[in-house]
Structure 1
């Protein structure tokens, strides 16, 4: 029985183009107690592979975190399958604001220790004792309240291209880095301020809200459905959109525009830009912001060195990479010293 991908990304891309069918990019998460994660993982792969679902799905004993792409014609079948799983019945599905048929090119369902790497010992607090979920209208009211502290629970490269006005945007590389920093910075306001959090789709805030309540914060709120659902709500209900810029997403799109304002700049020339790319040198693959002018000038690379490597014959590039580990720059998104105008 097939429980893994048999096609390469390029082969899948060709099939998607040949099919010419609209696909939907969707994300969802759910904290739940899963007994046998391997059996559940295999169950999902078998059913979703048959529906031509592609994406990145993490399964752990604490629940599921899924970002995926499905043919629009199979959406109802996918929804029916989710509803057949008790803890996923009527789960909120965040449908992307901007669609792209090639947002994912493989189906990867992986068993992990956590569905989001948070570095927390969940046995020390009740992860179900969450903060108050609020929709777009109440969120807009809360963040205008002088007694509110608004915190972006995402990483620096996410908030750099887009965030809510007046939000605290921790300069961190990972979610786990932000938890203790935020608690320390807001130590004096655990009782007198409303702590309002937001993230991409809500999953990081779900865990963080329970953690901060455990740490003594008395008034904890989170944006229901994250930035993705907020954008849909404000458009549907004619509310003021208080988000500035783009929402970073973890698929081949790398971002979806929420408002027209550009709040970041090209890391190479400093001109206004909010387009994330990966360095074309596969031995580097650094994530950074690059404008079209610099992309043409640098051949889609982050530095002159990478440009020289990328210009070599592919077999020579492979030879140079052989036996070498991945560059640390891959994981220091936008932090490389070769970037003159990095945040």
Structure 2
């Protein structure tokens, strides 16, 4: 019984190219009590591996958080499978605005303590007492209300390339960092203002809204389906688009364009640019914003040191990486000292 990947990302990429079939990139989440996450994880892997589903899925006792790529011709089969799981029946599926058959190249289903690292003690408050879910039209009306404070629940490298007009964008590296900062900054508005939150697909707001209600905020709202669903409803209903720039996504595409505005800058030269890349030196793999001109000049690297390493024979590069791991805590997603125009 195969419970783990046997193909590398490169091998899978070749198979996808040879198949030449359309795939759908989508995401979903659900909070539910899962008694045996490991058993549930194995069940998902076996079924989805057979369906040629690829993606990154986290399972915990509190629920599931999934970003996936599904063969378009097997979407209904995939949907039927979800509907046969009681807490996933008719779950919202956020289908990507921009599709790419290579958005994911492996199927990874991992058991975690939590489906989102929030640092919260869930036993200390009612996680089911959530904020009011609103659609795109209502969200726009709330944004127009002077008594509204709109807060981006994402990290700095996400909001840097795109966010809602007038939103508070905390300068944080992780979701768990943002929770106490927002509470402190908005302490004086707990009763009189509308606290309106948004994130990529809704999952971070789901927990945050309950947390802020527990902390005394009276009027708490969250954008249902996040930026992904907002963009879809804006297009379908011909609403005003109040989101500027790109929506950062956690797959090989890295982003989806929601509006034509470019609000970020190349971290190396400062020119307007909102294209995230990873440093070509695999020992670094730093996520940063790089324009085409700098990519050419720097050979897709973040620094001259990384260029030198990247020019070494592959075996020498492997020796340098031996025993060392990349860490977001070290590289801070674009805050590296090697970048001249860092956020």
Contact 1:284 1:329 in 2 (8 A): no
- Tell me the equivalent position of 2:52: 52
Distance 1:59 1:12, change over 3 A: same
Cα separation, 1, equivalents of 2:329 and 2:199: 24
SS at match of 1:46: helix
Please report how far the alpha carbon of residue 329 of structure 1 lies from its aligned counterpart in structure 2 after TM superposition.
Answer: 6.8
In the TM superposition, what whole-angstrom CA distance separates every residue of 1:169-220 from its partner, at most 9, and x where no partner exists?
0000000000000000000110000000000000000000000000000000
Answering whether residue 34 of structure 2 is matched by residue 34 of structure 1, we say yes
Q: How much does 1:318 deviate?
A: 1.0
Partner secondary structure for residue 55 of structure 1: strand
Aligned to 1:115: 115
Counterpart of 1:228 in structure 2 is 228
Cα drift, residue 330 of structure 1: 5.6
CA contact (8 A) 1:25 1:103 kept: yes
Which residue in 2 is equivalent to 1:92? 92
Task: Show the counterpart of 1:140.
Answer: 140
| CA deviation string 1:242-291 (max 9, x = no partner) | 00000000000000100011000000000000000000001100000000
State the distance in 2 between where 1:162 and 1:200 align.
11
SS of the residue corresponding to residue 143 of structure 1 reads helix
SS in 2 for 1:307: helix
Residues 1-343 of structure 1: pairs in structure 2 closer than 5 A: 1-326=1-326, 331-343=331-343
Gaps in structure 1 of 5+ consecutive residues: none
How does the TM-score come out when normalised to structure 2?
0.99
The SS at the match of 2:177 is helix
Look up the SS of the partner of 2:123 in the other structure: helix
1:57 is paired with a residue whose SS is strand
Specify the SS of the correspondent of 2:144.
Answer: coil
Per-residue CA deviations over 1:226-252 (Å, capped at 9, x if unaligned) read 000000000000000000000000000
Q: Any idea what the Cα deviations from partners look like across 1:278-306, whole Å, max 9, x if unmatched?
A: 00001100000000100010000000000
Asked whether the 8 Å contact 1:56–1:109 carries over to 2, the reply is: yes
In 2, Cα distance between equivalents of 1:314 and 1:226: 41
Q: Measured at CA, do residues 140 and 327 of structure 1 come closer, stay the same or move farther in structure 2, by a change above 3 Å?
A: closer
Of 155-164 and 310-319, the range deviating more from structure 2: 310-319
Question: Is the contact between residue 164 and residue 242 of structure 1 (CA under 8 Å) also seen in structure 2?
Answer: yes
Q: Secondary structure at the match of 1:288?
A: strand
CA distance, structure 1, for counterparts of residue 41 and residue 65 of structure 2: 12
Q: CA deviation at 1:320?
A: 1.7
- Give secondary structure in 2 for the equivalent of 1:312: coil
CA contact 2:285–2:326 (8 Å) conserved in 1 = no
TM superposition shift of 1:328: 5.9
* In structure 2, distance between residues paired with 1:324 and 1:110: 22
Distance change in 2, residues 1:63/1:236 (3 Å):
same
Aligned-residue offset at 1:323:
2.9
> Offset of 1:321 from its aligned partner?
1.8
The number of equivalent residue pairs is 343
1:133–1:221 contact (8 Å) kept in structure 2: yes
Q: Which runs of 4+ in 1 moved over 6 A?
A: none
Q: Deviations over 1:106-149 (max 9, x none)?
A: 00001100000000000000111000000000000001100000
Helix, strand or coil for the counterpart of 2:228? Answer: helix
> Is the contact made by 1:162 and 1:245 (CA closer than 8 Å) also made in structure 2?
yes
SS in 2 for 1:261: coil
Distance of 1:239 and 1:50 partners within structure 2: 40
Query: Mind listing any 5+ residue stretches in structure 2 that lack a counterpart?
Result: none
Instruction: Report the CA distance shift for 1:325/1:83 in structure 2 as closer, same or farther (over 3 A).
Output: closer
TM-score normalised by L of structure 1: 0.99
RMSD: 0.9
Instruction: Report the 3-state secondary structure (helix = DSSP H, G, I; strand = E; otherwise coil) of the residue aligned with 1:30.
Output: strand
How much does 1:159 deviate? 0.1
Secondary structure of the 1:172 match is coil
